[in-house]
Structure 1
Amino acid sequence: MTAKRPSACRRAQVSLLAISLLLAIGATPAAAEQASAAKAVDEELPATAQIDDDVNRGDIIIVTARRRQETAQEVPVAISVIRGDSIEATGNFNVVKLQQLAPTLQVYTTNPRNTSVNIRGIGVPFGLTSDGFEQGVGIYVDDVYNSRVAAATFDFLDVDQVEVLRGPQGTLYGKNTTAGAINITTNQPTFDFEGRAELSVGNLNYRQAKAAVSGPLTDRIAARIAIAATSRRGTLFNTRTDRWINEQDNLGLRGQLLFRPNDDLSITLAADYSQQDPECCGTAFVRVGPTQRALNRQYDAIIARLQAANPGYNYTVPSRNIYDRLTDIDASLKAGNKIGGASLRVKWDVGPGTLTSITAWRFWDWKPENDRDFTGASVVARSQNPSQQDQYSQELRYNYEGDRVDFVVGLFGFRQRIDTQGTEQQGIDAARYSLAPSTDPNNVYNRPEVLNGLTASNTQFLKADSAALYGQVSYKLTPALTIQPGIRINYDKKQGLYRRVVTTGSGQVITSCAPSATAGNAVLTAQCGVYQPQLTEPSVSDWNVSYDLNLNYKVAPDMLAYATYAKSFKTVGINQNGLPLDTNNQPVLSASTVKPESVDHFEIGLKTQLLNRLATFNLTAFRTEIKNFQATVNGGQFGTVRGYLANADKVVSQGIEADFKIRTSDRFTAYANGAYTDAKYQRFTNAPCPPELSGGTFQPANAAPDYSQPGIPGAPSPRQCDISGADLPGVSRWAFSYGAETNIPATLLAKEGQIYLGVDGNYRSHWNSNASPSIYTDVKGYALTNFRIGFRADGFDIFGWVRNAFDVEYIETLQVAPGNVGLIAGQPGDPRTWGGTVKFNF
């Protein structure tokens, strides 16, 4: 018997109950949260930093980018720091939304598993996700590395701040962080009692409740617990099921215990659990882009024949305008995501340095159901690839701070196991959708049973082990000039298994799709054209050495200039989702493993504070060259081999970033950030072709590829395409974010405080949503604007908000339907949303 999942409403009720309890506890004498936070900073900052912390001279932002606490302006690294209150005020409550505040961060998702997090256009291969490669953007929560992007798609819970570090960070941050790192710090237990509660409501049945309480259990033990629940109606209406889909249904819990036996030793035990269970993630019709397939085998012709062959079927797309937000996908949808774990962090001040140990275990349980044909026709009747992950990590590091020398040295160990059990099954319309039409009633095209029920069942696992020794030294050659070299020695080993078993609708196992097996057998030939049995057991290991050198010079007391060179590596990868096929319909075993990336990174930057530190202006220029870039390529077919890894010869990402913030007084603050990113395949001569150059009869093997007939039905198709010079997918050349807030003194309900008005927004220029850029998957640029107005006083904040205030229509991502039929589907961005939030601190 299957237990019913608690509704989002029930979760909201649980959170409201927690808030009520916390408010009741609030009668106990307690210091305000801001006072406690200030006290914590005062205890840990050096005296010089405390002197500079003058509200009339701007904010001091403390970061741990170099594994020690220091001000952001003193760190010779391009870094964006997003405070927890900014995250809450702007509604950016998870990693996916962060790109609205950090222009050089790109986050694209079709569901939690298929999420790409890139910095400056590089990091994770854009497209369908494989477990067999490493992410280039390390995601850390309280020093704990999250190995898969999907395992970090939880809602932010009781977050203090988020640091987005740009550029390679491998000599200090975890595994293969060739593009950067996202360092998330949560609020820690306190020995002063404090609490907070927050409730938000809005249109689309939006409900969000958060609560946290912290305080002493004894004079040596403190605890903190936080809870959050979010629910919202979906933004696409499925006419087939008569309900809204792509909803939000999230629940999160975090608990921490701090044991401080003396002033030199602290031990923190933390555990968290996050659950997401929405009906998600469906797509809607966007357009038809003609391919080189025969015209009678492209989307509109196929749909017309389905209608003619099924009286009363009358299949038609509910709308050809995606912004009508209508779809009719018929397969069941689910995006069940359970994430959690526990960690033990020990910090021990030993003489002039600090010894830190972080021991962690994390799990990720993914239960999806998808509609892989993106239509209301029963082509793919079932598609799901549930996965279970366990990861264990141990880090031990020592920080030393002296008058002229600071250094960090550490050891990092990691072990991961991922198991996946996949199923994809063809439906009753598959034969007429995928096979060449024929008037012969006995032809496989006119026999739905040939493909109906055809099933590909795959079993796969990945074992990954990694170990590293790293270190970084800062040496002051003069009071103004510092040299900072770093090194990391890394070992990785990966072992995988991929087994695909193909069965017909009658349950018969297909043992081979070799030409000798299919010769003269039209039924088997048709079935093997969709799914083929496979077995691969890749295993690979690799050593690499990363290093960097940073020179930084204090030009003036409030001006820091720096230059960095970094040599970094992303370790070897294996293809875990099956392999592409050769001309004999057999797996290409040479594609089992993928070469490591080799990265050369150059960066110069200037950090300044102006107007008596009321303003901050930072400027960065960078160039990153990657050899053997690990790219996701798409074969355009059904089955579990929808995308696989391949090496592009060379990729270059270069650009300029600028960050400006000003606080003229306690009454006005503003910021503006911008980035220009030029990220290209400098050399990729054997890439899969985009849809407009696919689907036709292959051009001769030894002939030079002919690209002159894109989108011409029946034209011959290149076997592969040279996309050298093309932009990397997912990258906007121009990106900006901005915000401002002003306030005036006011009194409300006998409370003295401030009435405030805030605005924030972001802009991204156009970008392409296909691994091989296509004229059909170019996503137009867009600008979003948000407003908020409210009243805040000591311990109290109430405000109304509107997001995407001008109801801008924009696309989050586009997808090419399999089979080269020309269908392009996508997910529209959120429409205008509005609501209100009330927060209490005590």
Structure 2
Amino acid sequence: MSVVALKGVLLIAASPQVVAVAEPPRVPAPVVAPALEEGEELAAQQAGDITVTARRREENVQQVPIAVSVVSGATLDAQGTYNISRLTQLTPTLQFYSQNPRNTFINIRGIGAPFGLTNDGFEQGVGIYIDDVYYNRIASATLDFVDVERVETLRGPQGTLYGKNTTAGAINITTRAPSFEFEGKAEVTAGNLDFKQGKVSVSGPLSETLAARLSATVTDRRGTVYNTTTDQYVQSQDSVGVRGSLLWKVKPDLDITVSGDWNLQDPICCAFSYGSYGSTQRAANRQFPALVGYFPGYAVPSTNPYDRLTDVDAELRARNEHGGLSARLVWELDEANTITSISAWRYWDWTPANDRDYTGLPIYTKVNNPTKQNQYTQEFRFNHQGSGFDLTLGLFGFHQKIRTSGIQETGPAASRWLLNPTSALSNNPAVLNNVVAINDIRLDNTSLAVFGKLNWEVTDRFTVSPGIRVNYDRKDGLYDSVVTGTASDGTRQIVSAVPGSPYYNDSWTAQQRGIQASQYFEPRFSAWNLSYDLNLRYELAEDINLYATYSRAFKTGGINLNGVPANANGAPILAAATIEPEQVDHFEGGIKTQFWDRRVTFNVTGFWTDIKDFQANVSNGQFGTVRGYLANAEKVRSRGFEADFSVRPSARFNAYASGAFTDAEYVTFCDAPPPPELSGGMTLPATGPCSFSGMPSAPGTPGGNSPPFVDASGQDLPGVSKWAFSWGAEANAEGNLFGESGQFYFGYDGSYRSDWSSNPTPISSSQSSPMPR
């Protein structure tokens, strides 16, 4: 799959005040600290300065010895980039995948989160921070941007300063602070597919020491896929968000900001149109063409994926509500010392409804796992500015409760679709009709950390920046799935996987157990880890900086909360209930340059990341059964280079281009899940963690032999494009509209990503017929 996105826009901006500042450039955008006055801001933009807080202090991005991309709020507005998913068009090494808000993954340079499996028991490797508040679940950070000052994307491990588990990077979003001068802004956007979006923001003083800001956004768009069963479009957008903040200047050296937000996304989602059919190793009478043939008169609405048609018959819903409160205190003890405290509570309420079979047949009538989360964080930071050095010390605490109460229910078409056609029971709809799984899934997640970062100016040109973080994590989980079905005598019974249990040998219950059985276990994990890094910066000449970084980072271990394989006695195998922490060794070096009076910026970065015990999605038979769950791949590597270029010859024109090459692969992963074309046949017996007996059939052989796992060593990680580019330009001119001064501007932006695989294990020619090990 390759992706190309192009965009052109002609907009008119009007304001009741004369503003001589042109729209900032794209990437990198000249963002300045909010405290600058208008004249200082203009001078900074013309000088090409970009002030960021990537290292918990304000500094020029060209002097920060890490790879960081910065996009201003004005650029986001001009481009129509209104959420994180669209940020990928500006940041080539940022990948965003979302089937729905809960099944959302963000990766940087190919790493960050396992691809293709939802599980609350593991952590994301890309941290999301909004006004210094850590958002643990990506689903709770899918809000539309409004009143954003800037977005900083930090690439590479950031564990010594940012929360926890930021082994791939961090996205640091800063919103606009309340203003002591009245200001307001309103924006309305319309587009194809009935796209409508409105944003409004107002800020001003309430007294000499109090200022407030209130903003709101509404987005609505018709769906992109038409459901012939319900006569409606699905995959729509329907969101609303409100954010408010109050700034209290207690005294000249003490500020307290209290913020709150509420966001609701309630689209008709999610379904897929028919793409194509690919043969697997299942018996011919269990392949898609045969299965559809068992239901006379049924056919998919279209075999052309570009018709964008579906016929799902179960209820669809993807209601995603989240919000929270935070309090930020900044106390300047004196000119050299500052204390910062950030306290926050956030909640997430996920209410889905799915059609798991994605057809118009009543196979799965309900697959709903609503989730509720409460998250509490507290961070203290102490900043000291000394002579030739500055120091940041901090404490971080995090606690999260997740409760999922789900249901899965099969319908009258399930027997014919899911059971072996050679079984006489496959013709009896009652066997699998109304098999119900009630799931109770719980997670209590606690993390504590102490951290520090030193920036030591050894000479006027050479700066050494070591950092350290000690982290403690504890996870307590519960997985309790109670499955009930109708036995052959017509009574409702628990479908148990334990031999000797009541109705274990009943013919109907045995068939139901092959689809899903009850399971209960309580996984636990706790561990300490130590992260550290060393950044070096050398000023080769004015506006030319060399830098190098080494980082040792960890992503905490996890627990499986989607069920685990069972042994011969039907008991869950607890060895598969936990996953080991990831250990990351990261090397990076680059050069940051500016010339032509800082009108031109050109940066180049090279990186190499090794990960031991990479947390991956597996589906193998090494425990005696085949089931998908999280486990550890022995070693993964990501390497490549990135380049950013921007030019601003005048305040009336700017252009940019960014590119990245990413080579991310499994170095050692001998028990990876088989790709679809090698799955579904007679599973060969596993003889060890990475060995099995027998010879697998050629890929896509109906009724063939399937390996319990494959050796994916040397293969690409899923979801990673080797090449990615973004580019654009903008021209503007002063003008008047309805008697008000403003500017006309025209912008063009494009992006490209090369092919990538969506399978956890892509198949290669060298593995067309994997040999036993």
Q: Same fold (TM over 0.5)?
A: yes
Mapping of 1:773-792 within 5 angstroms? 773-774=762-763
Shift of 1:316: 0.4
Q: Is the 8 A contact 2:281 2:706 kept in 1?
A: yes
Return the alpha-carbon distance in structure 1 between the equivalents of residues 145 and 390 of structure 2: 32
Quick one: which of 593, 596, 600 aligns to 1:615?
600
Q: Could you say which residue in structure 2 is the equivalent of 1:695?
A: 680
Quick one: which of 138, 150, 162 aligns to 1:161?
150
Q: Could you say which residue in structure 2 is the equivalent of 1:824?
A: none
Q: Could you say which residue in structure 1 is the equivalent of 2:471?
A: 490
Shift of 1:598: 0.5
Shift of 1:686: 1.0
Return the alpha-carbon distance in structure 1 between the equivalents of residues 395 and 491 of structure 2: 52
Q: Could you say which residue in structure 2 is the equivalent of 1:434?
A: 418
Tell me whether 1:77 sits opposite 2:66 in the alignment: yes
Quick one: which of 366, 375, 388 aligns to 2:372?
388
- What is the letter of the counterpart of residue 611 of structure 1? W
Q: Is the 8 A contact 2:34 2:176 kept in 1?
A: no
Q: Is the 8 A contact 1:705 1:720 kept in 2?
A: no
Return the alpha-carbon distance in structure 2 between the equivalents of residues 574 and 163 of structure 1: 31
Q: Could you say which residue in structure 2 is the equivalent of 1:813?
A: none
- What is the letter of the counterpart of residue 581 of structure 1? A
- What is the letter of the counterpart of residue 573 of structure 2? V
Q: Is the 8 A contact 1:691 1:774 kept in 2?
A: no
Q: Could you say which residue in structure 2 is the equivalent of 1:107?
A: 96
Q: 1:642 to 1:758 in 2, by over 3 A?
A: farther
- What is the letter of the counterpart of residue 377 of structure 2? S
Return the alpha-carbon distance in structure 2 between the equivalents of residues 338 and 33 of structure 1: 40
Q: Is the 8 A contact 2:216 2:242 kept in 1?
A: yes
- What is the letter of the counterpart of residue 460 of structure 2? P
CA displacement, residues 800-819 of structure 1 (integer Å, 9 cap, x when unaligned): xxxxxxxxxxxxxxxxxxxx
CA displacement, residues 764-812 of structure 1 (integer Å, 9 cap, x when unaligned): 1111112122589xxxxxxxxxxxxxxxxxxxxxxxxxxxxxxxxxxxx
Return the alpha-carbon distance in structure 1 between the equivalents of residues 696 and 538 of structure 2: 51
Tell me whether 1:445 sits opposite 2:463 in the alignment: no
- What is the letter of the counterpart of residue 226 of structure 1? S
Structure 2 counterpart SS, 1:767: coil
Q: Is the 8 A contact 1:386 1:421 kept in 2?
A: yes
CA displacement, residues 620-671 of structure 1 (integer Å, 9 cap, x when unaligned): 00011000000123579xxxx9842110000000010001111011221001
Quick one: which of 562, 568, 578 aligns to 2:553?
568
Q: TM-score, normalised by structure 2?
A: 0.91
Return the alpha-carbon distance in structure 2 between the equivalents of residues 650 and 507 of structure 1: 50
Shift of 1:202: 2.0
Quick one: which of 318, 322, 334 aligns to 2:305?
322
- What is the letter of the counterpart of residue 327 of structure 1? T
Return the alpha-carbon distance in structure 2 between the equivalents of residues 583 and 533 of structure 1: 15
Quick one: which of 49, 54, 61 aligns to 1:65?
54
Shift of 1:147: 0.6
Shift of 1:163: 0.4
CA displacement, residues 703-725 of structure 1 (integer Å, 9 cap, x when unaligned): 45645511111111111111111
Q: Could you say which residue in structure 2 is the equivalent of 1:801?
A: none
Q: Could you say which residue in structure 2 is the equivalent of 1:792?
A: none
Return the alpha-carbon distance in structure 1 between the equivalents of residues 740 and 204 of structure 2: 26
Structure 1 counterpart SS, 2:202: strand
Quick one: which of 341, 345, 356 aligns to 1:357?
341
- What is the letter of the counterpart of residue 238 of structure 2? D
Query: 5+ residue gaps in structure 2?
Result: 1-13, 25-30, 766-773
Quick one: which of 575, 578, 588 aligns to 1:593?
578
Mapping of 1:229-244 within 5 angstroms? 229-244=218-233
- After TM superposition, the structure 1 stretch with the greater mean CA deviation from structure 2, 338-347 or 275-284, is 275-284
Q: 1:33 to 1:322 in 2, by over 3 A?
A: farther
Q: Is the 8 A contact 2:618 2:671 kept in 1?
A: no
Q: Is the 8 A contact 2:652 2:731 kept in 1?
A: yes
Return the alpha-carbon distance in structure 1 between the equivalents of residues 541 and 382 of structure 2: 31
Q: 1:634 to 1:187 in 2, by over 3 A?
A: farther
Q: Is the 8 A contact 1:580 1:635 kept in 2?
A: no
- What is the letter of the counterpart of residue 223 of structure 1? A
Structure 2 counterpart SS, 1:138: strand
Once the two structures are aligned, what percentage of the paired residues are identical? Answer: 52
Return the alpha-carbon distance in structure 1 between the equivalents of residues 20 and 570 of structure 2: 64
Quick one: which of 341, 350, 353 aligns to 1:366?
350
Q: Could you say which residue in structure 2 is the equivalent of 1:468?
A: 449
Structure 2 counterpart SS, 1:273: strand
Q: 1:388 to 1:635 in 2, by over 3 A?
A: farther
CA displacement, residues 464-497 of structure 1 (integer Å, 9 cap, x when unaligned): 1110000000101110001100000000010000
- What is the letter of the counterpart of residue 257 of structure 1? L
Q: 1:31 to 1:353 in 2, by over 3 A?
A: farther
Shift of 1:168: 0.5
Return the alpha-carbon distance in structure 2 between the equivalents of residues 41 and 765 of structure 1: 34
Tell me whether 1:202 sits opposite 2:210 in the alignment: no
Quick one: which of 339, 342, 362 aligns to 2:322?
339
Shift of 1:755: 3.2
Q: Is the 8 A contact 1:33 1:194 kept in 2?
A: no
Return the alpha-carbon distance in structure 1 between the equivalents of residues 303 and 75 of structure 2: 38
Structure 2 counterpart SS, 1:389: strand
Shift of 1:354: 1.2
Quick one: which of 485, 507, 531 aligns to 1:522?
507
- After TM superposition, the structure 1 stretch with the greater mean CA deviation from structure 2, 736-745 or 345-354, is 736-745
Return the alpha-carbon distance in structure 2 between the equivalents of residues 31 and 53 of structure 1: 17
Q: TM-score, normalised by structure 1?
A: 0.84
Return the alpha-carbon distance in structure 1 between the equivalents of residues 77 and 412 of structure 2: 47
Q: Could you say which residue in structure 1 is the equivalent of 2:7?
A: none
- What is the letter of the counterpart of residue 316 of structure 1? A
Aligned residues: 732
Q: 1:722 to 1:302 in 2, by over 3 A?
A: same
Q: Is the 8 A contact 2:619 2:709 kept in 1?
A: no
- After TM superposition, the structure 1 stretch with the greater mean CA deviation from structure 2, 274-283 or 504-513, is 504-513
Return the alpha-carbon distance in structure 1 between the equivalents of residues 653 and 21 of structure 2: 19
Q: Could you say which residue in structure 2 is the equivalent of 1:721?
A: 710
Q: Could you say which residue in structure 2 is the equivalent of 1:559?
A: 544
Q: Could you say which residue in structure 1 is the equivalent of 2:480?
A: 499
Q: Could you say which residue in structure 1 is the equivalent of 2:526?
A: 541
Quick one: which of 256, 261, 272 aligns to 2:250?
261
Structure 2 counterpart SS, 1:523: helix
Q: 1:624 to 1:55 in 2, by over 3 A?
A: closer
Q: Is the 8 A contact 2:273 2:305 kept in 1?
A: yes
Return the alpha-carbon distance in structure 2 between the equivalents of residues 576 and 460 of structure 1: 7
- What is the letter of the counterpart of residue 561 of structure 2? Q
Query: 5+ residue gaps in structure 1?
Result: 1-22, 308-313, 777-842
Return the alpha-carbon distance in structure 2 between the equivalents of residues 474 and 609 of structure 1: 23
Structure 2 counterpart SS, 1:53: helix
- After TM superposition, the structure 1 stretch with the greater mean CA deviation from structure 2, 110-119 or 576-585, is 576-585
Q: Is the 8 A contact 1:634 1:771 kept in 2?
A: no
Shift of 1:70: 1.3
